[in-house]
A and B are shown apart, each in its own frame.
Chain A
Amino acid sequence: MSDTHAQSVAFVRNTEIPPSLPPDTEGGVIKWVRENLFPNVLSGILTIVALYFIIRLSIFVVPWIWNGVWGADSLTNCREVLGGKTGACFSVITDRWHQLLFGAAYPRDLFFLSTMTGVPVADLVTPGGVRENTNFFQEFFFGYWRPVLAFVLLFVAIAPVLFSELPRKMLITTAIYPFAAFWLVWGGSLWVPVTILASLAIAYFAYSFVVNRSFFLGALSFLAVLILLLFDPIAMLINAAEFGRNSLAFLGWQRAENALPWVTVMEQNYPWLMNIFPLNAHVVEGLSTISSVSLASVPSRELGGFMLNMILGTVCVSLSLPLGILLALGRQSNLPLIKWVCVIFIEFIRGVPLITLLFVANVVLAYFLPPESNPDLIIRVMIMITLFASAYIAEVVRGGLAALPRGQYEAADSLGLEYAQAMRLIILPQALKISIPGIVNVAVGLFKDTTLVSIISMFDLVGLIRGPILASTDWNGVYWELFGFAALLFFVICYAISQYSQWLERKLQTGHR
């Protein structure tokens, strides 16, 4: 300390006075409440009204949840336990969780469950059909390991797509995932997904062989090889003929008696999978005689619950994204044929409600296609939802393309890039970035729209609640608990998607909006 003023002044304070506390009204909780809840008269009134409603609501909801009954075996039993108190009957969820998640009849893997828990297979189910001797975790992870594993692997597979920091080699898991998931959920011979995957790999090889010459040629050869490998061209012709013939008949032309006898042969011999991939079917048959690796096959009809919503959601979003981008590009094309096909497709699909398309998938296609070659209802529904979503995504992407300054297109041209290169390297990366919020919006909407399949009698989460569970004499009359559970599941997924997209937008923010 300096002694400069030691003679002239008696006292010099050489430390800072500690800051005094703000007045009580200007700090702490009181300040926060005043500034946020009661800044002026109008807000004050609104706060009081809101508080009133929140309290009224929680007076009902809190005891309802708090008194909730978890272990009862029917609604009547729940009411006995509650004895007149207000309370939820969450027992319906503990009793039927496996149906809500995996569908009314998705089979448990009893063998695996028994191996892991040490309970003999015979003791897992009573003669009356009641599941016993296992708890939730054992059943969830061992009994339903196939769909659960498929769900877990979904995150591994989409991680490299969602997060560009992850090593690019992880994209291989993304490529393999659809086949692995198909095998896990539907079961059957391992050779089915493997041969399809192999066909794709060969087609990709053909693509990489030609792509140096031109991207367009590469894509073309990819498709050509794939079609040759997967489809039996003759069978395709036959099906096309049958489809046309039935369409004519539907429009009023009678079909000639005894026409096309070979069609009946096809009708009898091809279930849907064989019909879609006939050549593969032969290869699979051959391989299966050498070595058969297979999971118990599950018919599509037994898929349901939230799993069905997840399957429809992920499959349709991931298929509609590339299709939508192609449609958006097609709509901007200079070639009149492509342009008008795309315009008509988009405008038609956007002009028709999704439920109408679903009815077409369920009901009308049954008339056009021969009964045995008619693909599974779930495949028909996937196709319809994908078409529907792709039209919407196409319009979102078109918005992104239109927002790009003209100079970007010209810059690509002046670099001498051909159309495919320009789009892939310059235009789309920017246009898609702009379109992210719109695409996410469509994806979230689409995911929730998958519950519409309950109207065409599929047992998705909502269909299961409205059908089997509310029709059972045990649980007829339980509404809030079931629909609340469904809402919770959907909220978790949709909120996660929305958070991801916000994170992505922030990350891609390059500052020149």
Chain B
Amino acid sequence: MKKTIFLGTLTAVGLVAGAAAAGTLDDVKARGTLNCGVVTGLAGFGAPDANGQWQGFDVSVCRAVAAAVFGDPTAVEFIPTTGKTRFTALASGEIDMLARNTTWTFSRDVDLKFEFIGINYYDGQGFMVPASLGVSSAKELNGATVCIQTGTTTELNLADFFEENNLEYEPVPIETNAEAQQQYLAGACDVYTTDASGLAATRATFENPDDHIILPEIVSKEPLGPLVRHGDPEWGDVVRWTLNALIAAEELGVTSANVAELAEGTENPEVNRLLGSEGNLGEMLGLEADWAKNAIMANGNYGEIFEKNIGENTPIGLARGLNAQWTEGGLIYSPPFR
């Protein structure tokens, strides 16, 4: 993921002049729409479709939060941000939350003063090679030429991996994913490396996807998640528990199809607490009792969102892997609703 030191510093300085002190939740309610920072375009994760409607995995988080706050998943103003403008947009108060496949790192959390409210996708850096190369492991890549996006953490991860394994490589620096696709297909490099989700999406667009394989090694941790500004824990809670509600809903078997029915009341007290027929969780957040029901109705639970946007039946075709529920061997886990 991209990071620009200059803008980071600017962000930190800017915080002195910083965002409005009043509660973000109150500001959002008064405004009537949620300003959500999203990517300018990343297959499966967020982009406006042919009708200008924003769609995607990250976009669904924005819609769920809007549904939780207003009961209306369309009450979102999507503000496209680039890797360079995303943090300043959040720090300056132009957006209320950022859901833009951003890696949770120490310095972003602590130094840039943001609050990552959870992880909605566990990614990691991988390698793609032409099948004709006859390679089955990244450790066999000695002497390979590697297409790599400059100025990203992937560049550093790559250097670390090859040094650890005593391998030689020759980097071919490129600027954008589009350029990388062209260079790789033209044979300018043997290997293309970026986040595994990006590799899968790229491979899916090739004329002959089967001629290319993604190697099993994942060489870095890229936990992607939505984030908000430091210093407003109430708003952070709203976003955090909206995401948790989507995750818990999948675990509890609540889907967009049955949520209305289950909200009437069930045998399971946790479902009842989640959907507001029992207890006052919504009130504690400063929201309506049916906040989680609305969030789930917006796009479905976490699993439905995954399957619809990036799952195996989409052209992106990502397997759940690490992003399966903890009960199914993945890392996706929500604290209890109690």
Contacts and interface: CB of A to CB of B under 8 A. Distances in A.
30 contacts: A96-B50, A105-B52, A106-B52, A129-B49, A130-B50, A254-B16, A359-B84, A359-B85, A363-B92, A364-B10, A366-B94, A368-B17, A371-B20, A371-B94, A455-B84, A457-B79, A457-B80, A466-B41, A467-B47, A468-B41, A468-B47, A468-B49, A471-B41, A471-B43, A471-B47, A473-B44, A473-B201, A473-B315, A476-B201, A477-B181
Interface of B: 7, 10, 13-14, 16-18, 20, 30, 39-44, 46-53, 77, 79-82, 84-85, 88-89, 92-94, 176, 178, 181-182, 201-202, 204-207, 314-316
A363 B7 contact: yes
B178 A470 contact: yes
Contacts of A362: 85
Contact of A249 (B16, B51, B53, B85): B16
A472 B88 contact: no
B103 to A, nearest CB: 19
A471 B315 CA distance: 12
Given A250-B14, A366-B92, A471-B42, A129 B82 contact: no
A104 interface: yes
Contact of B52 (A104, A130, A374, A477): A104
Contacts of A104: 48, 52
Contacts of A476: 43, 201-202, 204-205
Interface in A350-385: 359, 362-364, 366-368, 371, 374
A131 interface: yes
Given A129-B51, A363-B92, A366-B92, 16 more contacts: A130-B51, A250-B13, A254-B16, A359-B85, A363-B88, A368-B17, A371-B92, A371-B94, A463-B40, A468-B49, A471-B46, A472-B41, A473-B204, A476-B43, A477-B181, A477-B206
Nearest to B87: A363
A250 B52 contact: no
A288 B191 CA distance: 63
A134 interface: no
B205 A477 contact: yes
Contacts, number: 124
B177 to A, nearest CB: 9
A95 B50 contact: yes
Nearest to A125: B51
Given A254-B16, A363-B10, A476-B205, A456 B82 contact: yes
A105 B178 contact: no
Interface string A465-491: 011111111001101000000000000
B92 A105 contact: no
Contact of B88 (A103, A105, A252, A366): A366
A470 B201 CA distance: 11
Given A468-B41, A476-B201, A477-B206, A252 B16 contact: yes
Contacts of B206: 477
Contacts of A459: 40, 80
A472 B59 CA distance: 14
A314 interface: no
Given A472-B43, A476-B205, A367 B14 contact: yes
Contact of B16 (A75, A131, A250, A477): A250
A467 B56 CA distance: 13
Contacts of A433: none
B80 A479 contact: no
Given A105-B52, A366-B89, A470-B178, A79 B207 contact: yes
Nearest to B176: A466
A302 B40 contact: no
B82 to A, nearest CB: 5
A22 B294 CA distance: 90
A301 B14 contact: no
Given A459-B80, A466-B178, A363 B85 contact: yes
Given A367-B92, A457-B80, A479 B85 contact: no
Contacts of B10: 363-364
Contacts of B16: 249-250, 252, 254
A324 B223 CA distance: 50
Which of B18, B50, B201 is most buried by chain A, counting CB atoms within 10 A of its CB?
B50
Report, as a range, how many residues of chain A touch the other chain.
Answer: 35 or more
A80 to B, nearest CB: 11
A359 B11 CA distance: 13
Given A95-B50, A363-B85, A367-B14, A479 B178 contact: yes
Interface of A: 75-76, 79, 95-96, 99, 103-106, 125, 129-131, 246, 249-250, 252, 254-255, 268, 301-302, 359, 362-364, 366-368, 371, 374, 455-459, 463, 466-473, 476-477, 479
B94 A473 contact: no
A472 B89 contact: no
Nearest to B181: A477
A363 B82 CA distance: 12
Closest 7 A/B residue pairs (Cβ): A105-B52, A471-B41, A467-B41, A467-B40, A477-B205, A366-B92, A471-B47
Contacts of B41: 466-472
B17 A75 contact: no
Given A366-B92, A466-B41, A479 B182 contact: yes
Contacts of A76: 315
A456 B94 CA distance: 14
A308 to B, nearest CB: 13
Contacts of B49: 129, 468, 472
Nearest to A456: B85
A467 B80 contact: yes
A75 B52 contact: no
Nearest to B177: A470
A455 B82 contact: yes
B52 A302 contact: yes
B317 to A, nearest CB: 10
A476 B177 CA distance: 11
A308 B55 CA distance: 23
Contacts of A473: 43-44, 201, 204-205, 314-316
Listed residue (B17, B30, B51, B204) with the most chain A CB atoms within 10 angstroms of its CB: B17
A246 B52 contact: no
A250 B17 contact: yes
Contacts of B46: 471
B85 to A, nearest CB: 6
Nearest to A108: B51
Contacts of A254: 16
Contacts of B88: 363, 366
Contacts of A479: 178, 182
A345 B17 CA distance: 26
Contacts of A469: 41
Contacts of A363: 7, 10, 85, 88-89, 92
A479 B177 CA distance: 12
A457 B85 contact: yes
Contact of A457 (B50, B82, B202): B82
